[in-house]
Structure 1
Amino acid sequence: MGEFSWPTEDQLKEMRNKVSEMSGRDAEEVRVVVSPYRICPLGAHIDHQGGTVSAMTINKGILLGFVPSGDTEVVLRSGQFDGEVRFRIDEIQQPTNSVKKHHAVYASDSAKIKEECKWGNYARGALYALQSRGNILTEGIIGYICGSDNLDSSGLSSSAAVGIAYLLALESANDMNVTPLDNIEYDRLIENGYLGLRNGILDQSAILLSRYGCLMCMDCKSKEYEIIQPREPQNGGETEFKKSYKILLAFSGLRCALTNNPGYNCRVAECQEAAKFLLCASGKAEMEPRLCNVEEEVYEAHKSELEPIIAKRAQHYFTENRRAAKGLKAWKSGNLEDFGKLISASGLSSIHNYECGSEPLIQLNEILQRAPGVFGARFSGAGFRGCCLALVDADRAEEAASYVRREYFELQPELASQLNADSAVLICEPGDSARVI
């Protein structure tokens, strides 16, 4: 399990050659942004409420090869989508008026976007975010972007990975020195301000702060974070721990962008409604209606007064916060069994209390729970589409993957038949943070 197993030298060479062909520049001049996808073992759906989250990146993600254009023009092509995106770095960007249409674009098939190349809105959003904080950019880029194994719209934060890739490329081309914490806020501006998605900072934080083989933990209220390295086991070091597990990604065949489903923003509003009620009950109505501002004692005292649906959302928040805290202790001690049980409990709360998910994803999650060697499993993302993730004993990963492919095909033959047999269940390794090579 090598720290830099992704991207491979062949992948980097391919990116550099494509940009060289586009720009007429030497391949040696091409820089490559590596922006990984992330998984969230614990802390699901509570980042927007200021809860505690955990995440790590995987050895899959977005690659963006680019060179500074030498003028103000941005020229982009994509490995997934047709057409060419062009705009100028000195154009003032305004938030899009068609949120669902534009946010869905990166997860849609190319036939839907030939008309105006709207997949370029993430690049425009990156420029918007930088401009909104007073940055004046003078250098455009010529770039080529592609994602690993067509994993867009799979609940792995591909949208955040894309936004961060464009931010890092524009900053690099303009010799800007930007901290990871600043880029978390810039990417949030892309998704919240430019595209209108009401998400928190989990995705951006994971991609920008993670370190190979470690668990990134963040208090989304204070923005304080910790990179947690597991304690060295008695009979082996840190490297042995990393080699003891793999990450399974099992795909459902469902594809639907997050903002296409009104349930996501609706659930955020329901959490805020719970917070507002509980804050009023405790005499703190003036505070921002987020559940992180509610003392757990207040929740326990007044939870029976909440409307049933609102009560479920609050229950998920407070129990998930506790699971995240327990999970950090299990990870530090190298206890994968306990960590996995907490992941599975998180998944059940997402289904029953947060009430996200769809029948195929719920079935897929149940299959993973039964698979040989799996420590724990849950949805990756909201569970409305995409995939489920599992932590699995490295020695049984292939066996588990075969079991999941077979069982899911029996339950959902139509959806399973849409998946490539080799990529229906992927065996992944931990990744590193986003960077420019």
Structure 2
Amino acid sequence: MTVVARAPGRVNLIGEHTDTTGGLVLPMAIDRRTVVEIERGGSTLHLVSDDEPDAAVVALGSSVPPAEVHPVWARYVAGVVEVLRPAVGGRGRVRTDVPIGAGLSSSAALEVAVALALGFEGTPIELARACQSAEQVASGVPCGIMDQLASAAGVEGHALLVDCHTLDVEPVQIPDGLRIVVVDSGQRRALATSEYGARRAQCEAAEAAIGPLRSATVADVERIADAVLRRRARHVVTENERVRAAVAALREGAVDELGSLLVDGHRSLRNDFEVSTAVLDELVEALCRRPGVHGARLTGAGFGGCCVALLDADAEVPDLGVRSWVVRPSAGASVVQAPT
């Protein structure tokens, strides 16, 4: 029996590095997807990819930790297998137009599509939880749930306001007059893995001092004695406030206000969370100087990767000599061909 499943990548409009402390995020699934086709059967999952020279071959019940599997992309497949424990494997193919390694959650799209193709049954939140666990065992990074949830639960034409503590999801319509562009800095995220874990540990240390950051105020943050922890906490607390303000701006059609919030968020990521780079800073500044651009910021973990920019619908996409993609808010993951 053949199963075909697809899952979108995502871009996070605002709410960066808040999900691991149960904060607010505002991602949207995008119209770039990973498609996994599997002919089910056997005790091994064997997948080839149009974008990778070597196949992912994962034996069901293998004792090899997913983080030690080769090639690297197969680790995410192995993570899904370890978490789901499917009774049957299969042979198949992976195709994607989600840019790989650009901060648009290509790994989450792969995990979600593989899980569905292997027969996962459950709610989008349950699917996201399973794939979050798969990413953690595959990468060793203590990631939050945002990427997988945006891919699993996306709504056509909407961003998703996600409370990462309660996992409440509220669709927020994107105005027709707004164009969203993702611009690749060309800088690969070499430090993202190690520094991501360090930032999460710093946020946990800040919470040990003042309590949950999701409910803290800026006044609470000022009580933190350690200057580094104080900066990390200040970013998280103010970023949660920016998410709330961004939702209000979208609902009111206040695109200038929304753009200003993105720029403020980038400054916070640069100065307080310290995950930007000179390349990303220059790219944001160059984007914001262009006609019809309301605002921009880095998106994703930082240390390279992409920026997201908000443009008028009739504005020209800036040509800055790097890759860029106009993306549209799209529906979440689905099985497009079920077993017969």
TM-score w.r.t. structure 2 length?
Answer: 0.92
The equivalent of 2:103 in structure 1 is 155
Structure 2 match to 1:138: 87
Alignment of 1:245-394 (within 5 A): 245-256=178-189, 259=192, 261-279=193-211, 290-292=212-214, 294-296=215-217, 300-301=219-220, 303-394=222-313
Query: SS state of the match for residue 204, structure 2?
Result: helix
User: Counting helix residues as a fraction of each chain, which structure ranks higher?
Assistant: 1
Q: Secondary structure at the match of 2:87?
A: coil
Structure showing greater Rg? 1
Q: Gaps spanning 5+ residues in structure 1: where?
A: 1-28, 103-115, 132-136, 231-240, 280-289, 406-415, 417-423
Figure out how many residues of one structure are paired with residues of the other and give that number.
336
The residue correspondences of 1:128-277 to structure 2 (distance < 5 A) are 128-131=82-85, 137-148=86-97, 151-171=99-119, 176-229=120-173, 241-242=175-176, 244-256=177-189, 259=192, 261-277=193-209
Tell me, in whole angstroms, the C-alpha distance in 1 between the residues paired with 2:329 and 2:78: 30
CA–CA distance in structure 1, aligned partners of residues 318 and 10 of structure 2: 20
What RMSD over aligned residues (CA atoms) do the two structures have, in Å?
2.1
- Shift of the 228–305 alpha-carbon distance from structure 1 to 2, 3 Å rule, reads closer
Q: 2: CA distance between counterparts of 1:31 and 1:305? A: 52
**Structure 2 letter corresponding to 1:95:** P
Higher strand share: 2
Structure 1 residue 66 displacement after superposition: 2.3
Q: Displacement, 1:84?
A: 2.4
User: Per the alignment, in what secondary structure is the counterpart of residue 40 of structure 1?
Assistant: strand
- Provide the residue aligned with 1:21 in structure 2: none
1:119 matches 2:68: no
SS at match of 1:77: strand
**Corresponding position of 1:20:** none
Residue 40 of structure 1: aligned partner: 12
Distance 2:138 2:160 in 1: 27
Q: Distance in 1 between matches of 2:57 and 2:107?
A: 20
Offset of 1:30 from its aligned partner? 4.9
In 1, Cα distance between equivalents of 2:78 and 2:191: 20
Partners of 1:77 and 1:336 lie apart in 2 by: 43
Q: Deviations over 1:132-185 (max 9, x none)?
A: xxxxx3222221113216x111111111111111111111xxxx4221111111
- Identity, in percent, stands at 29
Contact 1:401 1:427 in 2 (8 A): no
TM-superposed CA distance for 1:76, in Å, is 0.8
Asked if 1:401 is matched to 2:334, the reply is no
Task: Determine helix, strand or coil for the equivalent of 2:245.
Answer: helix
Structure showing greater relative contact order (alpha-carbon pairs closer than 8 Å, 6 or more residues apart): 2
Match of 1:64 in 2: 36
Native 8 Å contact 1:94 1:194 kept in 2: no
Could you tell me which of 327, 334, 338 is aligned with 1:435? Answer: 334
Within the candidate set 71, 95, 103, 2:65 is matched to: 95
Asked if structure 2 preserves the Cα contact closer than 8 Å seen for 1:64 and 1:146, the reply is yes
Q: Does the CA contact (< 8 Å) of 2:202 and 2:232 recur in 1?
A: yes
- d(CA) in 2 for partners of 1:158 and 1:372? 30
Q: Give the residue type in structure 1 aligned to 2:213.
A: L
What displacement does 1:203 show? Answer: 0.7
Cα deviation, 1:186-209, whole Å, max 9, x if unaligned, reads 011112234321111111111111
What TM-score, normalized by structure 1, do the two folds share? 0.72
Give 1:97 shift: 5.5
Q: Alpha carbons of 1:120 and 1:302: their partners in 2 closer, same or farther (altered >3 Å)?
A: closer
SS for the counterpart of 1:41 is strand
Alpha-carbon separation, structure 2, partners of 1:378 and 1:125: 31
In 2, are the aligned partners of 1:213 and 1:430 still within 8 Å (CA)?
yes
SS at match of 1:395: coil
> Against the structure 1 CA distance between its residues 355 and 118, is the aligned structure 2 distance closer, same or farther, given a 3 Å change threshold?
closer
Aligned residue in 2 for 1:285: none
What SS is found at the alignment partner of 2:200?
Answer: helix
The answer to whether the 8 Å contact 1:76/1:144 transfers is yes
